[in-house]
Every structure is written in C-alpha cells, then in structure tokens.
Structure 1
Amino acid sequence: MSKVKYYYDSETLSYRKVVRKKRTTVKYVFMFLLASALFGFMFVFFASYYFESPKEKALARELQNMQLQYELLNKKMDEAESVLANVEERDNAIYRLYFEANPIPNEQRRQGFGGINRYKQFEGFDNSKLIIEANKRLDIIQKQIVVQSKSLDEIAVLAEDKEKFLATIPAIQPVNNEELTRMASGYGYRTDPFTKVRKFHYGMDFTAPRGTPIYASGDGVIIRADAGATGYGKHIRIDHGFGYESLYAHLYKYNVKRNQKVKRGDLIGFVGSTGRSEAPHLHYEIFKDGVRINPINFYYGNLSAKEFSELLAKASLENQSLD
C-alpha cells in the first residue's frame, strides 16, 4: 500500500493531502522508462565496446587465422618464386645455351594480365588489398610455371634431336688404325698422282691392304652404293641427316645396298683400288649442306688425343695423293 503524503497549506493553516495528477504520473512513468532505456543502451554499448561476445570472439579468431594463413601463403609463394627463378636461370643459361636455342625473354616470363579486372570479386572487404595482391602473385606464378613447363617440353625435344644429331654425324675414323698402312694424304692442296699437277684434294686417303673393312662413321641411310660417279670407282654415300653426308670411294666391294639404314661402326664395305686410284686405299669425304669440309674435325669418337695429334700432323703434310 502506497504512503499518503501531506503538505501544509499556509492559507488555511492546515495540512492537506497531496493528490497526484494523472498527467504527472504519466510524465514520471515516461521519464522513468526513458531513463531505463538510456541506461540499458549505455550498458549494452559499453559492454559491447569493452567486452566481446562469443560470436565476436569466434570471428576474431577466424580473422586472425586467415591472416596467418595469408602470411604462410606469401612465404610459400616467396619460396616458389625463388625455385622458379633458379629453374629459369638454368633454362636460359645452361639448357638453351647448350642446345643453341634462344632464351625466353624476361618480359614474356613476367608478363601480367591485361584487359578486364580479374579481381573485382575481392573488392569491398576490410582485407581486399591483401587478398588481391595474393591472388595476383599466385596467378603470375602459375603463368610462369606454364611458360617454364612449355620451355622444358621444348628442351626435351631439343635434347632428343641433339642425341640423334650426336649419333648421326660422322665421328669416327672409317678404317681402324691397326689396319692402316699409313695416312697417305689429307684435305688441301696435293700433287695429283697422274698429272703431277698441284690441285685441291677434298678428302683424306687412308692406305690399307685390299679387303680391309670400312665402317660407317655415323648413323644414316645409304643413298648410293655404285660406281656411277667419275673417278670414285665403287663408292658409298651415307646421308646422316642434319645436312651431313659421308663418301667412301675406291672400294673393292660393298657390304650394304641403297636405302639401307646403318649405325655408326657398321661394316659397309672393303678397301680397294677401283676408279681413278693409284693403289689400294680409302678416299673419305664429308659434306655439310652439299659443301665438302675437312674430315679431320670428325674423329673425336674413336681416336685418343695422341692419335688425333699424329693424324693431324700427317694430314697437314703437302704430299702426293693416291687419287
């Protein structure tokens, strides 16, 4: 039960009962409610400012974890870029140099992405810059990997071609040293044995007994095995590919036929003295793109350094050739 309140009325010199008007009551109630609401709002505001809710704590942990993951991702991208840079350096400085291929321009390796904005979906967030930069780096690394992968595929083809090239080009002496009587004449100006006139000798003459085995100096295909060329008598031509051909002249007989495939070291014929020849010997020539070149540079496959030096000294003597 509420207390009854009185006030002293000076006019009537008596105590009168306090009667609260309804308007005043409503006013007090409204003020009370307003004050309560303001107090509640202030409490919630300060509580939310100074204290985190479980949901906010979970979101904060998730955000912290995402930032940590981005840092780890950036470190991994740093490592990937370092490894890729090392592969690119070896690609340009070793592999392509060895296989005589042009290096890939740095602009092509580092080329960005033009045109439309590829990262528009990442804009408008608190960490948009971080997310966009990470995605840009990742896209560039992926593109560099694609470029490098294609380059390594190309190098694999070049290596295969190089292997074929090294196997096919003439690289051994066509007559074994043990079966040689002597190296009669080399590439250069020599005295013709029939006319005694000094003229250019386009091959090397290896003196050996009739019937001495002759070996293919490189892999290839027999394109001639006949006596239809003037002066060569019975002779063999091998197409080695890559613009190289070898010729073996004045043979006694053949051990191969036209269009036959041969490997380096295969027995292809025997020394003789057919055609324009003064004595049994092998006349050996090498062609590159249809031009005769000095065979002395193509014996690295079966001669030691000492044997090559001796052969070089004999071949440089300006003497009389045998054909």
Structure 2
Amino acid sequence: MSKVKYYYDQETLSYRKIEVKKGKKIRNFLVFLLAAFLFGMIGLFTLLNTGLVNTPKELSTTRELKQYELQFEILNKKMEQMEKVLGNIEERDNNIYRLYFEASPIPEEQRKAGFGGVNRYQTLEGFDNSKIIKNTTRRLEILQKQLVVQSKSLDEITKLAENKEKLLATIPAIQPVNNKDLKRMASGYGWRTDPFTKARKMHWGMDFSASRGTPVYATGDGVVKRSDNRAAGYGNHIRIEHGFGYESLYAHLSKYNVRKGQKVKRGDLIGYVGSTGRSEAPHLHYEVFKDGQRINPLNFYYGSLTPAEYEELLHVASQENQSLD
C-alpha cells in the first residue's frame, strides 16, 4: 500500500493531501529506470573486468588453453624420450662406430650447441604460456640439429666402412658366453660393490654367472696374447689381441682351450667358466680394451643378441649391484 503524504496549509490551518501530478510520476519512473540501467551496466562491467564472471567465449578460450598446455606437456615428454634414444645413438657413434673406423669423435658442444645471437623466439613472447612455448620450440630445434649432425656422421661412417671388413672381423662383437648357458648377467661395467671389502669400486668389465665348465668363446678374430694365471686377481685368464688397438680379456677360467701365440676366430672355443683367482662364485669376468684403455663391453654385442635380448642386458647391466670379483 502506497504511503499518502500531506502538507500543512497555513491559510486554512489544516493538513491537505499532496497530490502528485501524473507527468511527474512518469518522469520519476523513467529516472528510476535510467538509474537502474546505468547501475546495472556499471556492475556488469565491473564483474566482467574483475574475472569473477567469465563469458562463454572466455570459458571456451580457457578450455582451449588448458588443452594446448596438455598437448605441449605430451610433446615435451615425447621429445624427452627422443633425446634419450638419440643420446644413446650419439654415445655409440662416438665410442663404437667412430672408434671402429678410427674417426675422431664429434665434440659434445658441437652436437648440442644452442642458438646464440639474436632472440630467435621474440615472436613467442607476450603470451600467458610463452615460457613453455619457447622452451618446447628451443628443444625441438636443438633436437633437429642433433639429428642433422648424427645423420652426417653416419654418412661419414658408411664411407669409412667400405674397406673395413677386416677391422669388423677383429672387433670383439659377440657375447663370450651363450645366452642358453647363462644363469644371469651378474654385474655390469661401472661403479659396483666389492664382494669382499663391501666398498664401492670401479668394475672394469662384465660378470656372466654360469656353471663351472660352461664354454667361453672368442669374441673376435685375433692372436692369444696370454693364457696363464700370473695376473693378480684374474686367476686363469686369457687375453686376445685383435688388432686395431683392441684386446679382450677372459678371467676366472677353470681351464684353457688355447695357448699363447695361437690364432683364433670369432666364436672359437677358448676356455671354460670357473672361479679361480679373486672370485666369489663361478662366473666369467670379461673386459674389452681400446688402445690400452678399458671400455664398456656392453657396446659390442651387436653380433650375437636380438634387440630384445640386448635391451634386457642393457637394463640388467645398468643396475649398481655387487660384482662377483
């Protein structure tokens, strides 16, 4: 119920009812509507600019941005996997393939050099996700450059390999114990726990756990340089000189099947697994040398293992466990 307002009339000395003209009512109503409209617009504008309320377009854009972020994360994970695979190829290229053919290793800074000078990613700046976009782009470009460098290196290796059949025959390229005769690959090349002192020390070869008397085979063509037990810790052992700076060593044998000065071919039976010398259990300790320096034998099994077998051997050999010698 609307309120009735009065005023005091001094002439009649009485209260009289205030009559509001129709035109004034309409004007007041329009002023109210205009004020309400202006207040509503100001409130809506304030809400839209404070981020408390998002328009359907903004919600859609936000969802798209989150989807793009997810795609960038997936792409970065894929690139991380590619970088690991390429890193393994580069390591083999420097430490195996280029050594095989007496080519100088490619320096690390050349393989993984970035892009200096002007800001290559200036056009990617100024966005909410500029950091992840720039990082992904940079990683992708470096990966592309590494692939180009590796491709050129393999082209060079292909040319060097044309007249290297003799070299390939001498490289120790097979596993010295057949997989069917193995109990397990006990320890790989690297830092391991000494079975006797329990101290952490460098293990310069690979230990293949097998029954006493298991055949041991020459891993490449060559000449038997030693076949004796006069080296500390190795017990009965054989050392084969393959040429081109390569040598292989087979330790803790139970007995020999070759003598010093004898020529052998890859795959020839040279001795039998034992536990002589500084050994905790029957196994073959196997080492590879290049120019007098010990190198990881794991890189030389391309001639006797399937990809699946090599992958399993790689996994086991990378574990830092206790060696058998």
> Could you state the TM-score of these two structures normalised by the residue count of structure 2?
0.51
**C-alpha displacement of 1:99:** 6.7
Residue equivalent to 1:221:
223
Q: In the comparison of the two structures, how many residue pairs are matched?
A: 173
* TM-aligned CA deviation for residue 178 of structure 1: 0.3
- Give structure 1 stretches of 5+ with no counterpart: 1-97, 102-155
In the other structure, the counterpart of 1:272 is: 274
The CA deviation string for residues 225-283 of structure 1, in whole angstroms up to 9 with x for no partner, is: 00010000000000000000000000000000000000000000000000000000000
TM-score between both structures, scaled by the size of structure 1: 0.51
Structure 2 contact 233–278 (Cα < 8 Å) conserved: yes
What amino acid is aligned across from residue 181 of structure 1 in structure 2? K
Residue 214 of structure 2: aligned partner? 212
Alpha-carbon distance in structure 2 between the residues aligned to 1:198 and 1:238: 29
* d(CA) in 2 for partners of 1:234, 1:180: 20
**Alignment correspondent of 1:233:** 235
1:253 to 233, 255, 278: 255
Is the 1:187–1:201 contact (alpha carbons within 8 Å) kept by the matching residues of 2?
Answer: yes
CA distance in 2, matches of 1:183, 1:262: 25
Deviation sequence 1:62-87 (CA, Å, 0-9, x none): xxxxxxxxxxxxxxxxxxxxxxxxxx
- Report the Cα distance in structure 2 between the residues aligned to 1:264 and 1:100, rounded to whole angstroms: 21
* Aligned amino acid, residue 175 of structure 2: Q
C-alpha contact (below 8 Å) 2:226/2:238 kept by paired residues: yes
Contact 1:231/1:275, CA 8 A, preserved across alignment:
yes
Amino acid at match of 1:239: E
CA distance in structure 2 between the aligned counterparts of 1:267 and 1:260, rounded to whole angstroms: 12
Q: Paired residue for 2:244, among 228, 231, 242?
A: 242
| Contact kept in structure 2, 1:174 and 1:217, CA below 8 Å | yes
1:186-221, Cα deviation, whole Å (9 max, x unpaired): 000000000000000000000000000000000000
> Contact 1:250–1:274 (CA<8 Å) still a contact in 2?
yes
Which residue does 1:304 correspond to in 2? 306
In the alignment, what sits opposite 2:319? 317
Question: SS in structure 2 opposite 1:181?
Answer: strand
Q: Could you list the per-position Cα deviations for residues 1-42 of structure 1 after superposition, in whole angstroms to 9, with x for gaps in the alignment? A: xxxxxxxxxxxxxxxxxxxxxxxxxxxxxxxxxxxxxxxxxx
SS across alignment from 1:167: helix
Instruction: List structure 1 runs of 4+ shifted beyond 6 angstroms.
Output: 98-101
Aligned ranges 1:1-323 → 2 under 5 Å? 159-160=162-163, 162-323=164-325
Decide whether aligned partners of structure 1 residues 288 and 100 sit closer, same or farther in structure 2, where only a CA change above 3 A counts: closer
- Percent of residue pairs bearing the same amino acid type: 75
Query: In the aligned structure 2, how far is the partner of 1:99 from the partner of 1:184?
Result: 31
Find the aligned partners of 2:205 and 2:217 in 1 and give their Cα distance: 16
Deviation for aligned residue 1:159: 4.2
1:301 partner letter: G
Deviation track 1:276-298 (CA, whole Å, cap 9, x = no partner) reads 00000000000000000000000
CA distance in 2, matches of 1:294, 1:100: 18
Cα distance in 2, alignment partners of residues 278 and 252 from structure 1: 14
Contact 2:189–2:206 (CA<8 Å) still a contact in 1? Answer: yes
Mapped partners of 2:101, 2:199: distance in 1: 45
Change (3 A) 1:100 1:196: closer
Letter matched to residue 220 of structure 1: G
Q: Max radius of gyration: which structure?
A: 1
Q: Which amino acid aligns with 2:248?
A: S
One-letter code of the match for 1:187? Y
SS at match of 2:298: helix
2:72 paired residue number: none
**Distance in 2 separating the partners of 1:176 and 1:267:** 11
The answer (yes or no) to whether the contact 1:219–1:264 under 8 Å persists in 2 is yes
Distance 1:277 1:100, change over 3 A: closer
Structure 2 vs 1, CA of residues 99 and 197 (structure 1 numbering), >3 Å: closer, same or farther? closer
**C-alpha RMSD over aligned residues:** 2.2
Contact in 2 for aligned 1:99/1:159 (Cα 8 Å): no
In the alignment, is the contact (CA less than 8 A) between 1:222 and 1:237 conserved in 2? yes
Query: 2:145: which partner in 1?
Result: none
SS at structure 2 position matched to 1:277: coil
Residues 171 and 258 from structure 1, CA distance in 2 versus in 1: closer, same or farther, beyond 3 angstroms? same
Unaligned runs of 5+ in 2: 1-99, 104-158
